[in-house]
């Protein structure tokens, strides 16, 4: 069955970067896109960006200067990196699989990231 | 960016109630709308895509309707397990955007 499993740190210091890995199973990254969404009490659900099956990326303009998404198809892994984190980046970060369109039937378990010294 | 407005952030309901949750887009999204249910500690669960298409395994008491800018999620005969927060999401254009959520609470 389709699964997305996230791994990454829970605590990041201000101005540092966040890296999360999303390891998928039950499908190929060459067939589906993987999106990143975050959720915070203050801002709700925010779409951050996507890496498409072909390897191209689209980012939310609000984050484009500090966000990078890449992948390794052979390892079924997608890599998320956001730079220069501040306190208001504290949120749960999710990876989610693209469906036939840009809606999400499959989600990772979420990574709670706290930005604090 | 397309703004998604859910008119109610929360409301109190009783078991067996018919519940209607509304979502309004800032422009026409051509039925490119999904609804999700989220319970504390869990990722959102997809209920409906294409404004009206129920996902496999979702109870038939859930239904979606609407067109243009205005969309509705309905729950007939609310069950205990339906107490949750509901979000709409447009996928007509990027950035993909979500409503702020509507939380159902038992009276």
Measured between CA atoms, the residue of chain A closest to residue B85 is A44
Chain B interface, mutation test: which of A44, A58, A100, A108, most B Cβ atoms within 10 Å?
A: A44
pLDDT at A41: 84
Average pLDDT score over residue span A86-115: 94
Convert the pLDDT of each residue in B24-45 to its tens digit: 999 999 999 999 999 999 999 9
From CA B73, how far away is CA B104, in angstroms rounded? 13
Residue B86 near residue B102, CB atoms below 8 Å: yes
pLDDT at B99: 97
Chain B interface, mutation test: which of A46, A104, A109, most B Cβ atoms within 10 Å?
A: A104
Judged by a CB distance cut-off of 8 A, whether residue A97 touches chain B is no
pLDDT at A81: 98
Chain A interface, mutation test: which of B32, B38, B44, most A Cβ atoms within 10 Å?
A: B44
pLDDT at B79: 97
Cβ-count burial A98-116 (b if 16+ within 10 Å, e if not): bbeebbbbbbbebbebebe
Answer whether B46 sits within 8 Å of A46, measured CB to CB.
Answer: no
Residues of B in contact with A99 (CB under 8 A): 46, 49
pLDDT at B7: 85
Average pLDDT score over residue span A92-112: 94
Average pLDDT score over residue span A92-113: 94
Convert the pLDDT of each residue in B41-72 to its tens digit: 999 999 999 999 999 999 999 999 999 999 99
Confidence of residue A13 (pLDDT cuts 50, 70, 90): very high
State what percent of residues in chain B have pLDDT above 90: 95
Residues of A in contact with B55 (CB under 8 A): 105
Rounded to a whole number of angstroms, the distance between the first and last alpha carbons of chain A is: 39
Separation in Å, CA of B15 to nearest CA in chain A? 27
pLDDT at A70 over 90: yes
Measured between CA atoms, the residue of chain A closest to residue B35 is A103
Average pLDDT score over residue span A101-112: 95
Confidence of residue B5 (pLDDT cuts 50, 70, 90): very high
Pick from A36, A20, A31, A38: which is nearest to A77 by CA? A20
Pick from B33, B17, B24, B26: which is nearest to B77 by CA? B17
State what percent of residues in chain A have pLDDT above 70: 100
The string of DSSP codes covering B46-65 is: EEEETTTEEPTTS-TTEEEE
pLDDT at A46: 97
Pick from B4, B13, B49: which is nearest to A44 by CA? B4
The sign of the dihedral angle between the CA atoms of A61, B5, A45, B93 is negative
Separation in Å, CA of A103 to nearest CA in chain B? 7
Average pLDDT score over residue span B72-83: 97
Convert the pLDDT of each residue in A21-67 to its tens digit: 999 999 999 999 999 999 998 889 999 999 999 999 999 999 999 99
- Between the alpha carbon of residue B102 and those of residues A35, A90, B87, the distances in Å are 23, 22, 7
Separation in Å, CA of B57 to nearest CA in chain A? 12
pLDDT at A27: 97
From CA A79, how far away is CA B86, in angstroms rounded? 29
Measured between CA atoms, the residue of chain A closest to residue B33 is A103
What DSSP state is assigned to residue B96?
P
Measured between CA atoms, the residue of chain B closest to residue A107 is B43
- Between the alpha carbon of residue B103 and those of residues A26, A71, B38, the distances in Å are 32, 36, 9
Report the DSSP pairing between strands B10-13 and B33-38: unpaired
pLDDT at A7 over 90: yes
A61: left (phi over 0), alpha (psi -120 to 50) or beta: alpha
pLDDT at A99 over 90: no
């Amino acid at each position: 069955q389709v699964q997305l499993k996230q791994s990454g740190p829970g605590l990041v210091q201000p101005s540092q970067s966040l890296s999360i890995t999303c390891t998928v199973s039950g499908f190929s990254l060459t067939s589906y896109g993987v999106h990143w969404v975050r959720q915070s009490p203050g801002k709700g659900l925010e779409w951050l960006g996507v890496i498409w099956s072909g390897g191209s990326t689209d980012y939310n303009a609000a984050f484009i200067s500090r966000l990078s998404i890449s992948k390794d198809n052979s390892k079924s892994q997608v890599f998320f990196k956001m730079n220069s984190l501040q306190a208001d980046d504290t949120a749960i970060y999710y990876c989610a699989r693209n469906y036939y369109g840009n809606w999400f039937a499959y989600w990772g378990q979420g990574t709670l990231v706290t930005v604090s010294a | 960016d397309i703004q998604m407005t859910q008119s109610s952030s929360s409301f109190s309901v009783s078991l067996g109630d018919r519940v209607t949750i509304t979502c309004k887009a800032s422009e026409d999204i051509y039925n490119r709308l999904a609804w999700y249910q989220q319970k504390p500690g869990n990722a959102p669960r997809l209920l409906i895509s294409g404004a009206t298409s129920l996902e496999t395994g979702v109870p038939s008491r859930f239904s979606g309707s609407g067109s243009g800018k205005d969309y509705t999620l309905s729950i007939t005969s609310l069950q205990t397990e339906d107490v949750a927060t509901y979000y709409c999401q447009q996928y007509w254009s990027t950035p993909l955007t979500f409503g702020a959520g509507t939380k159902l609470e038992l009276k």
